[in-house]
Chains A and B, each alone.
Chain A
Amino acid sequence: ETGVTQTPRHLVMGMTNKKSLKCEQHLGHNAMYWYKQSAKKPLELMFVYSLEERVENNSVPSRFSPECPNSSHLFLHLHTLQPEDSALYLCASSQDRPGGVMKTQYFGPGTRLLVL
């Protein structure tokens, strides 16, 4: 148990559905992240919310939309996904300082997503 929870743990959705993934961290961290992990590919950083800034990977399609209402909660809204979006979606958090070295990220258990 790392202090980062994710729901749901498994999700099956059709290409026309809209769903949201939720992440919550209980560590008092100020930065949260969404990663995608596909088979035989490196972990791919999708979005970062750190020190009230949002950083995004420009290669992420617009059908993925993040929301971070506060430092403890992070959502990933999904709509009109494609089968190739099937993957493990991981949330992580860390405690960052401006201009400082980055401290460790702690990962949630992930949401296994299957798009049919």
Chain B
Amino acid sequence: QKEVEQNSGPLSVPEGAIASLNCTYSDRVSQSFFWYRQYSGKSPELIMSIYSNGDKEDGRFTAQLNKASQYVSLLIRDSQPSDSATYLCGVYSSASKIIFGSGTRLSIRP
């Protein structure tokens, strides 16, 4: 079983709709969770970080964490073409390192 799993996509969402990106992880003691956006040919950039169960909102982005289910998600409201990118889920494991999923490719269609 992979330590951090994401659906590779591509996930196609119409402009203005809500994009929902999901991530599951295997290390039960993980405490820190991150979502990064990566445009093609560029380095990852932080979108959201979340440490506690529940929702965390920042502008059009909402991160949701459920530690019991070992599940973290990212919702993007009012999706824009500029949101088209690969989204990486990162989980800080008990081995003092961040493990990344393989990323979900998101495509926003006009």
Contact = CB atoms under 8 A, between A and B. Distances in A.
Interface string B95-110: 1111111110000000
A110 interface: yes
Interface string A54-88: 01010000000000000000000000000000001
Contacts of B4: 42
A43 B103 CA distance: 9
A33 B43 CA distance: 14
Interface in A31-52: 33, 40-43, 45, 48, 50
B46 interface: yes
B91 to A, nearest CB: 10
Chain A: number of interface residues, binned into ranges: 20 to 34
A32 to B, nearest CB: 13
A102 B32 contact: yes
Interface in B61-110: 88, 90, 92, 95-103
Interface string A100-112: 0111111111100
A55 B98 CA distance: 12
The majority secondary structure among interface residues of chain A is loop
Nearest to A88: B43
A101 B51 contact: yes
A101 B43 contact: no
A108 B45 CA distance: 9
A55 B92 contact: no
A103 B97 contact: no
Contacts of B43: 88, 90, 107-110
A115 B4 CA distance: 29
A41 B8 CA distance: 11
A91 to B, nearest CB: 9
Contacts of A110: 43
26 contacts: A40-B102, A41-B102, A43-B88, A43-B100, A45-B97, A45-B98, A48-B97, A55-B96, A88-B43, A90-B43, A101-B31, A101-B92, A102-B32, A102-B92, A103-B49, A104-B34, A104-B46, A105-B34, A105-B90, A105-B98, A107-B43, A107-B44, A107-B45, A109-B42, A109-B43, A110-B43
